[in-house]
Amino acid sequence: MREKAYKVLAKQLGVSNKKAKELIDRGVVYAFGKKVKIARGEVDLSTRFKVVDYAALEVIFEDENVLAVNKPAFLTSEEIEKDCGYRLLHRLDKETSGVLLLSKKEEFRTKAIESFRQKEVKKEYLAWVEGIVAESAVIDLPLITQRKGGRARSRVSYSKGKEAVTYIEPIEIVSKYTKIRATIETGRTHQIRVHMARFGHPILGDVYYGGKEFGRVMLHSHKIELLGYSFEAPEPREMIEPFAQNFKFS
């Protein structure tokens, strides 16, 4: 017999249907080594699910101007904005972890936005990508972003795209995967994800842009510097030990 995935999960965990659907929508539920993407999709009643734990939000720094937090994967930037009561200065994708900044004063927000516009903000990311990246490189490919059904998707467009520059540096190689440091001059939507996919080394877990299925999109916002501030978020365990058996699903 078959039943909707969220209902089977709810019975397995002993939680409400609403909570089970929320877990699937968040992207932390797996079955048969793959992420369950459609809560209302039907599965066999005997299906056994695995739910990935996600960390709690951590405050890195706070003063009268800014709140810097270490965003865990699977928590959206918008949820954090709503819960904290302050306005986002930028966004991280749901499965991207790391430094996220919110402004506490409109005057500071105005200055910060101008600093972003003037390319004065330094942003460093860490990522695990597919394949061997042997040398540092500069990826300079203009991007255009389109939105459909509430989802954004970016692609390279030489005729209509906006400037996007990413500097990458390999820092560790394990098997057929490379850990890279990526710094960006611009902050286009999904910039590093699209650039690495186009470079032939998609980010591990980034199935949206051609990467292999994994526990999460293996991208971490490591450092941000702006307006005299400097913030750093330590890497979560899965970024340090990505191939631990209790995290790998494919």
Domain with CATH 3.30.2350.10 in the chain: 58-240
Q: Which residues contact 31 (CB under 8 A, 6 or more apart)?
A: 5, 43, 47, 48, 49, 50
Model pTM score? 0.84
- pLDDT, tens digit (0-9, with 9 covering 90-100), for 202-243: 999 999 999 998 889 999 999 999 999 999 999 999 999 888
Nearest to 92 by CA among 111, 108, 115, 68: 68
With cut-offs at 50, 70 and 90, classify the pLDDT of residue 250: very low
Residue 86: its pLDDT value, please?
96
Nearest to 180 by CA among 190, 192, 171: 171
Given the residues 83, 93, 140, 206, the one annotated as active site: 93
Least confident of 22-31, 53-62, 132-141: 22-31
- What is 58-240's CATH topology? Pseudouridine synthase (3.30.2350)
Q: Is 93 a catalytic residue?
A: yes
- Which two three-digit tokens encode residue 132? 């061997």
Residue 194: its pLDDT value, please?
98
- As a CATH number, domain 2-51 is 3.10.290.10
Q: Which residues contact 140 (CB under 8 A, 6 or more apart)?
A: 164, 165, 166
Distance CA 95, CA 204 (A): 12
Q: What is the DSSP string of 223-238?
A: EEEETTEEEE-PPPHH
Distance CA 58, CA 36 (A): 27
Domain with CATH 3.10.290.10 in the chain: 2-51
